Amino acid sequence: MYRFPRVLFVALAASSAVAVAGCGPASQASPAAVTEGPSHPGVDAVFADLDRDGPGAAVGVLLEGEIVHRAGYGIAHLDHGVPITAGTVFDIASISKQFGAMAALLLEADGRLNLDEDVRAYVPDLPDFGVRITARHLIHHTSGIRDWVHVMSLAGLERSDVISFDRILRMLFEQQAVNFDPGAEYAYSNTGYNLLARVIEAQSGMSFREFTRQRIFEPLGMSRTHFSDDHLEVVPGRAESYSPDGDAGFVRQPNQLTALASSSLNTTIDDFILWMRNYETGEVGGEEVVSRMRERGVLNGGETLAYAHGLTVGEYRGLPNFGHGGSWAGYRTNFVRFPEQDLSIAVFCNVSDCDPARRALRVAEVLAGEAMGPEPERVGTAEITDAPPPMPTEAQLREYAGRYRSPELDMTYEVVVDRGSLIARHWRTGPSALAPAGEDTFSGNPRLFPELRFRRDGSGRVVAFTVTGGRVRDLIFERVGG
């Protein structure tokens, strides 16, 4: 329902500001939830396991335009025992995409961006792939542009390395092919949203960070929100990210990513509540643009996608909803809105096993369960009975041995036979054992070689291999030796 903007809470009491505890160990911090406003006992119960001396979550819930729950659970920074509050800053990962899409729609409304124009008209550095890619393709993940997460892993980068916006674009500008004809299929691509950010910069004359600050965050009063464009920047009150480490407790997961539009939005629950309310008020964008955010993509063949403008549209137990999740380093985040119930939920976690999507749905069950249909039935997993393909002989494996280079990545792997097994190796990635998966086809480390298929020339000699998996298809490595 569209509403006129209402007066929001203006400031937090001193006790609800981001806590700046002393430099003692985390065990000195209170593990109790930090409740800073309205709270709901049923929602508290969903996060009871995070009231601890470990990382946790910040949660904000709007119901019929009012804040009904606003709290933090667990510790934001284990080194110093700083508790999580509604004012703690999180990197919300891929939830960021809806802000990239909103920025594009605002620029379109200004008459400065045509979503159906070839993006090379705006970014001439983009290679000519022989197909026409538009901003609309980028928004709906139908461009065919390869996702940088897998590509950069193949190039030897660790996820904890510095992965900057400029480095992602440099990688993109070296690509020689796309996965498929634009608009023919859906394949999630972070790279597509990074290219969208560069389009917005070209057409607005501002950095993406500045454009979103001026056009989205500042008008909504989101004063502690920004797209990170410098991994060395000091951000007061920002939560560290962690993963569980068995008996050792938790280990830090470094975050040095600045992937504009696709990720890297730093914000708080307090600020994000203002954004969730914008879906009701249309304060930024107006009713028309806010409504367009939920318009789903359509493939060339007429199939309507679940993916809209940085949002996935669906339903849960019979109730229509839309939202998005995020995952990077140890951050796990989720936002979901049930428009018919006027219910919005945001869960920001700083630990990798938090499962914010499931927790957000449990919160929805607490507050809107009476309107829901029956719980979905659990679907069992079919037993796999297919026998593995036969292992090639050592003589057959030696046909594949050699050095293979990707000109797009400037990366060369050596494929060797070692004690009857085929190994792909590079000093940056370490060795990856390749198991047979079919004729001339192998699988290895899923982050690198989910499917590796060797190619032969007319005489039967192996001349290349291609890598395919998830968001990358047929990335070619040409044989250059051996």
Residues with Cβ within 8 Å of residue 409, at least 6 apart in sequence: 151, 154, 155, 171, 174, 475
Q: Does 405 score more than 80 pLDDT? A: yes
Q: Are 258 and 175 in a shared domain?
A: yes
What is the residue range of 217's domain?
91-371
Instruction: Provide DSSP, 73-98.
Output: ESEEETTTTEEP-TT-BEE-GGGGHH
Query: Mean pLDDT over residues 212-235, rounded?
Result: 97
- For the ranges 80-89, 109-118, 244-253, 375-384, which has the lowest average pLDDT? 375-384
Residue at 79 is within a domain: no
Q: Does 452 score more than 60 pLDDT? A: yes
Q: Are 231 and 341 in a shared domain?
A: yes
Residue at 52 is within a domain: no
How does residue 384 score in pLDDT terms, banded at 50, 70 and 90?
A: low
Q: Are 186 and 307 in a shared domain?
A: yes
Q: Are 426 and 317 in a shared domain?
A: no
> Taking Cα atoms as reference points, which of 274, 282, 276 lies closest to residue 9?
274
Give the residue from 318, 340, 371 where a domain finishes: 371
Query: Which CATH number characterizes residue 257's domain?
Result: 3.40.710.10
3-state class (DSSP) for residue 196: helix
Q: Are 169 and 121 in a shared domain?
A: yes
Q: Are 284 and 404 in a shared domain?
A: no
Nearest-angstrom CA–CA distance, 74 and 481? 54
Residue 10: per-residue pLDDT:
30
> 381 or 190: whose pLDDT is higher?
190
Q: Does 31 score more than 70 pLDDT? A: no
Residue at 37 is within a domain: no
Residue at 71 is within a domain: no
Residue at 206 is within a domain: yes
Domain count, the chain: 2
Q: Are 256 and 334 in a shared domain?
A: yes
> 4 or 233: whose pLDDT is higher?
233
Rounded to the nearest integer, the mean pLDDT of the chain is 91
Chain segment 44-102, per-residue pLDDT in tens: 999 999 978 999 999 999 999 999 999 999 999 999 999 999 999 999 999 999 999 99
Record the pTM: 0.87
Q: Are 251 and 328 in a shared domain?
A: yes
3-state class (DSSP) for residue 42: helix
Distance of CA 293 to the CA centre of its chain: 18
Q: Are 152 and 274 in a shared domain?
A: yes
How does residue 180 score in pLDDT terms, banded at 50, 70 and 90?
A: very high
Residue at 267 is within a domain: yes
Chain segment 342-366, per-residue pLDDT in tens: 999 999 999 999 999 999 999 999 9
Query: Which CATH number characterizes residue 428's domain?
Result: 2.40.128.50
Residue at 297 is within a domain: yes
Q: Does 12 score more than 90 pLDDT? A: no
Give the residue from 327, 356, 371 where a domain finishes: 371
Residue 367's alpha-carbon distances to 109, 236, 260, 279, in angstroms, are: 36, 33, 34, 19
Strand partners, 60: 70, 346
Q: Are 413 and 353 in a shared domain?
A: no
Q: Are 407 and 358 in a shared domain?
A: no
Residue at 389 is within a domain: no
Q: Are 212 and 278 in a shared domain?
A: yes
Nearest-angstrom CA–CA distance, 402 and 408? 19
